[in-house]
């Protein structure tokens, strides 16, 4: 639940500044692979996002004294071998997919 809150908070804040704001949420279960995917995709007004650094503590595009959510999420994920996150960015569209297996 904490990770879901972090992802949703980030998606809401990023899309608020967009004239054509959107947030898409999907939950997909693959019984054959025994895999669950939570996908949160949102609009952003940023032309470029360096997704290689967004999980570092203090990295944010939203101002000072922020940027701990994704760092906290990475710490939580480090406790679960069967879970990981995939992050994509393209054409003002930011997507994070939380994948769990088992």
Determine the 3-state secondary structure of 85 from DSSP.
strand
State the pTM of this model.
0.83
Per-residue pLDDT of the chain (102 residues; tens, 9 = 90+): 999 999 999 999 999 989 999 999 999 999 999 999 999 999 999 888 877 767 666 555 555 545 578 888 999 999 999 999 999 999 999 999 999 998
Q: Checking DSSP bridges between strand 35-43 and strand 93-101, what pairing results, if any?
A: antiparallel
d(CA 19, CA 43): 9
* Continuous H helices in the chain: 2-16, 69-77
d(CA 94, CA 75): 21
């Amino acid at each position: 639940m904490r990770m879901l809150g972090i992802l949703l908070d980030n998606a809401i804040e990023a899309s608020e500044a967009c004239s054509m704001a959107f947030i898409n949420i999907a939950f997909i279960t693959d019984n054959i692979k025994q895999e669950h995917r939570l996908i949160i995709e949102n609009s952003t007004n940023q032309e470029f996002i360096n997704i290689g650094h967004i999980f570092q503590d203090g990295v944010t595009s939203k101002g000072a004294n922020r940027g701990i959510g994704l760092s906290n999420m990475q710490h939580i994920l480090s406790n679960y071998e069967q879970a990981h996150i995939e992050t994509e960015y393209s054409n003002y569209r930011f997507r994070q997919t939380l994948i769990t297996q088992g």
